[in-house]
């Protein structure tokens, strides 16, 4: 594997890991209504699972309310059941055509639990980033053993990968802090 490919592959994997973390944070419930809350909820659509946002329009008319308007009226019950089964702890109400999903304010205890969950997910993501760094460093060492690159070149490349790792870890910390601040604000 060429040298530049080792670094670019590591950076690509780190970007994907960070993006996955971003999506995970967006789908975590805070005191505010956001369509991203429903991203992980799958609905049985004629025998195949589909995300809610692919079978309905989701709008936020008020900060504490989501309105879900299925494109097919027969999907109303299926969407309601999927929301009830989810780990969101929300109770939908419908009038047969539109589903209203009120987002209650979070209790102090629930906010603290969510902050712990954010920290745990951030730590898991940092571990994944560090594993990518380790894999890239192992690849560099194997190139050195094959005498494809010198020891000095290996050290220099490992330092570059470490800088890359540090940058992504800092991004994860910043995202986690922003999410915790959002959760704790009333």
The number of folded domains in the chain is 2
Backbone phi, psi, residue 70, to 5°: -65, 145
Q: Count Cβ atoms below 10 Å from residue 51 Cβ, excluding itself.
A: 15
95 and 117 in a single domain? The answer is no
130 with 155, same domain: the answer is yes
In whole angstroms, what is the distance from residue 12 CA to residue 164 CA? Answer: 11
Find the CATH number of the domain harbouring 87.
3.30.1360.40
Domain span holding position 139 = 3-26+107-184
Q: Over 60: is that where the pLDDT of 106 sits? A: yes
100 contacts 92 by C-beta, under 8 angstroms: yes
Are 140 and 149 contacting, i.e. CB atoms less than 8 angstroms apart? Answer: yes
Cβ atoms of 57 and 71 within 8 Å: the answer is yes
Query: Do 128 and 155 reside in the same domain of the chain?
Result: yes
**Percent of the chain beyond pLDDT 70?**
96
pTM above 0.75, yes or no: no
pLDDT tens digits for 147-166? 788 888 889 989 999 999 99
| Residue at a domain's end among 46, 78, 102 | 102
Q: Are residues 111 and 165 in the same domain?
A: yes
Q: For residues 129 and 177, state if they share a domain.
A: yes
Question: What's the CATH code of the domain at 112?
Answer: 1.10.132.20
């Amino acid at each position: 594997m060429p040298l530049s490919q080792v670094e670019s592959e590591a950076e690509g994997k780190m970007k994907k890991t960070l993006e996955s973390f971003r999506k995970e944070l967006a789908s975590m419930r805070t005191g505010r209504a956001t369509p991203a809350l429903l991203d992980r909820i799958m609905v049985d659509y004629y025998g195949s699972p589909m995300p809610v946002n692919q079978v309905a329009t989701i709008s936020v008319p008020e900060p504490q309310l989501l309105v879900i308007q299925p494109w097919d009226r027969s999907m109303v019950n299926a969407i309601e059941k999927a929301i009830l089964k989810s780990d969101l702890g929300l109770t939908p109400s419908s009038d047969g055509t539109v589903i209203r999903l009120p987002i209650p304010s979070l209790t102090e205890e629930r906010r603290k639990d969510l902050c712990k969950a954010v920290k745990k997910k951030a730590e898991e993501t940092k571990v994944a980033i560090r594993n990518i760094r380790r894999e890239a460093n192992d690849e560099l060492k194997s190139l050195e053993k094959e005498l494809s690159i010198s020891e000095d070149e290996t050290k220099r490349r490992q330092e570059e990968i470490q800088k890359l790792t540090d940058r992504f870890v800092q991004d994860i910390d910043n995202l986690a802090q922003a999410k915790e601040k959002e959760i704790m604000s009333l």
